[in-house]
């Protein structure tokens, strides 16, 4: 199997990009133009980036309410994400989903939805279908995104919809992450979810089926130790999540979700195993969310975190650690990192500009697409 090149600079850049995007969304949220529940992933960027670095567009990702990072790390179109937050027709979901319903089929990001654990079995089902297609059990079966793609929202349509002033979407839309090449290996599916999600019964049902069928599926548990404002200790006994997955028969590992190099290495092994037909893999990665559960603000003052907890996690910022690594090792230098920032400022400005010029979905369109 071909091996993706380890490139801390790229990983850092991807994390930085997600951070700056989330910050920009937070900064603009108070304008009351993005009128939908929005769960930011600031502080948790390393997981999405370290895992998605190993995925091609043929690999698929499913995600949850806190999905911006997963979407972006998988190469999801940024302007269309923003347009979605604004409720515009050009949004990745035509404005129908907002922050909690993202999709970019071209990028292999199938869907995020906000019913906790709702997408977990879907990811397994998708992986199962991939496996059947590969084994020939379901030969001749129709292509993935069989739904009619409405013209106004088709990815290729972006630039034209947005009119002349907006930059071409091909340029700003896609994350610039390099694609690992692995031509003949099996596609994998990745499902991202939280520690709270692990409490839902359907998780257990999915672990069982995934192992039974040896699915090419990677479970990534982002254990940020909170479900909304409720700490783990009020919801789960003192034992390891990944060990339950291991008892189900998955290959399961845990690690520091704030160290992108560690996430990268763990994901590399897990995804290689999944591609090689060794069955489903499970990663439990520890991290911490900085902003409030839902919304643009910090909420440390509410007092549900232990005193000093947030501060300690901020010292362990995934970006800070990667940046230090880059500088210490000489892989990069301040000027280059500053250039990254500048490039991102520009990308973001263009993306917001495009997104904010979106068009309102017509009221007549509201009833469309109930049935395929």
Partner 1 sequence: MHDVAVMSYGEAIREALDDALAKYPEMILIGEGVPDPKNIFGTTQGLREKYGSERVLDMPLAENGMTGICIGAALAGMRPVLVHQRIDFALLSIDQLVNNAAKWHYMFNGQQQVSLVVRVIIGRGWGQGPQHSQSLQAMFAQVPGLRVVMPTTAGDAYQFMLDAIADNNPVLFIEHRWLHPIKGEVDKTRSSAELVGASLLRRGNDITLAAFSHMSIEALKAATVLARHGVEAEVLDMRCLTPLDVDSVVRSVAKTGRLLVADCAPEMASMGHQLLSALFQSHSQRLRQAPRLIAYPNHPVPTSHFVANHYYPGAEEIAAKVLDMLDRQPLKEAVMLELQNDLAKDLPDRSFTGPF
Site string for a second copy, 84-123 (x = CB under 8 A): ----------------------------------------
CB nearer partner 1, residue 101 or residue 259 = 101
Q: Give the one entry of ligand TPP, a second copy, Mg ion, none that residue 243 binds, where binding means its C-beta sits below a cut-off of 5 to 8 angstroms depending on kind.
A: a second copy
Name residues whose C-beta falls within 8 Å of residue 154's C-beta, 6 or more positions apart in sequence.
Answer: none
Candidates 36, 186, 246, 310; binder of a second copy (CB under 8 A) is 246
User: 285 — phi, psi (to 5°)?
Assistant: -125, 130
Candidates 192, 226, 282, 352; binder of ligand TPP (CB under 6 A) is 226
Q: Site for ligand TPP (CB under 6 A): how many residues?
A: 16
Residue 195 binds Mg ion (CB under 5 A): yes
The DSSP-derived string for 28-82 is HHTTS-S-S-----TT-HHHHHHHHTT--TTSEEEE-SS-HHHHHHTT--HHHHH
Q: Give the one entry of partner 1, a second copy, ligand TPP, none that residue 244 binds, where binding means its C-beta sits below a cut-off of 5 to 8 angstroms depending on kind.
A: a second copy
Radius of gyration for the chain, computed over Cα atoms and rounded to the nearest angstrom: 20
**Would you say how long the chain is, in residues?**
372
Q: Which range, of 152-160, 223-231, 267-275, 357-365, touches ligand TPP by CB under 6 A?
A: 223-231
In 3D space, the residue among 87, 95, 78, 86 whose CA is nearest the CA of residue 22 turns out to be 78
Which one-letter DSSP state was computed for residue 285? Answer: E
Strand partners, 62: 111, 191
Which residues from 189-208 bind a second copy, rule CB under 8 A?
Answer: 199-205, 208
Q: Give the one entry of a second copy, ligand TPP, Mg ion, none that residue 66 binds, where binding means its C-beta sits below a cut-off of 5 to 8 angstroms depending on kind.
A: ligand TPP
Q: How far, CA to CA in Å, does 109 sit from each of 75, 156, 212, 215, 316?
A: 8, 16, 25, 18, 29
Residue 195 binds ligand TPP (CB under 6 A): yes
Residue 211 binds Mg ion (CB under 5 A): no
Q: Which range, of 77-85, 86-94, 190-198, 335-343, touches Mg ion by CB under 5 A?
A: 190-198
Residue 242 binds ligand TPP (CB under 6 A): no
Greatest Cα pair distance in the chain:
58
Residues that bind ligand TPP (CB under 6 A): 65-66, 114-116, 193-197, 222, 224, 226-228, 293
């Amino acid at each position: 199997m071909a091996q993706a090149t380890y490139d801390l600079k790229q990983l850092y850049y991807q994390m930085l990009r997600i951070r700056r995007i989330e910050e920009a969304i937070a900064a603009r949220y108070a304008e009351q133009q993005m009128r939908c529940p929005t769960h930011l992933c600031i502080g948790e960027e390393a997981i999405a980036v370290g895992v998605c670095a190993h995925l091609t567009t043929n690999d698929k990702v499913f995600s949850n309410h806190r999905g911006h990072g997963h979407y972006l790390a998988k190469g999801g179109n940024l302007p269309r994400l923003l347009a979605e937050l604004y409720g515009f027709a050009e949004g990745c979901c035509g404005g129908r989903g907002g922050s909690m319903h993202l999709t970019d089929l071209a990028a292999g990001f199938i869907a995020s939805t906000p019913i906790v654990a709702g997408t977990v079995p879907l990811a397994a089902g998708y992986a199962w279908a991939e496996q059947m297609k590969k084994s020939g059990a379901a030969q001749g079966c129709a292509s993935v995104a069989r739904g009619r793609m409405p013209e106004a929202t088709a990815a290729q349509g972006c630039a034209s919809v947005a009119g002349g002033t907006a930059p071409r979407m091909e340029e700003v839309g896609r994350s610039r992450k390099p694609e690992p090449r692995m031509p003949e290996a099996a596609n994998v599916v990745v499902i991202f979810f939280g520690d709270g999600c692990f409490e839902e019964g359907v998780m257990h049902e999915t672990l069982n089926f995934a192992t039974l069928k040896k699915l090419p599926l990677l479970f990534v548990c982002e254990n940020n130790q909170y479900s909304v404002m409720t700490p783990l200790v009020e919801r789960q006994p003192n034992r390891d999540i990944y060990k339950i997955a291991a008892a189900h028969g998955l290959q399961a590992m845990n690690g520091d979700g704030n160290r992108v190099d560690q996430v990268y290495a763990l994901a590399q092994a897990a995804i290689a195993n999944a591609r090689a037909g060794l069955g489903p893999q499970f990663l439990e990665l520890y991290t911490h969310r900085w902003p409030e559960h839902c919304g643009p603000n910090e909420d440390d003052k509410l007092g549900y975190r232990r005193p000093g907890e947030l501060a300690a996690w901020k010292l362990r910022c995934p970006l800070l650690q990667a940046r230090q690594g880059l500088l210490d090792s000489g892989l990069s230098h301040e000027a280059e990192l500053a250039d990254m920032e500048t490039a991102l400022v520009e990308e973001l400005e263009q993306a917001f500009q495009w997104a904010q010029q979106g068009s309102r979905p017509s009221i007549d369109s509201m009833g469309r697409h109930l049935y395929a």
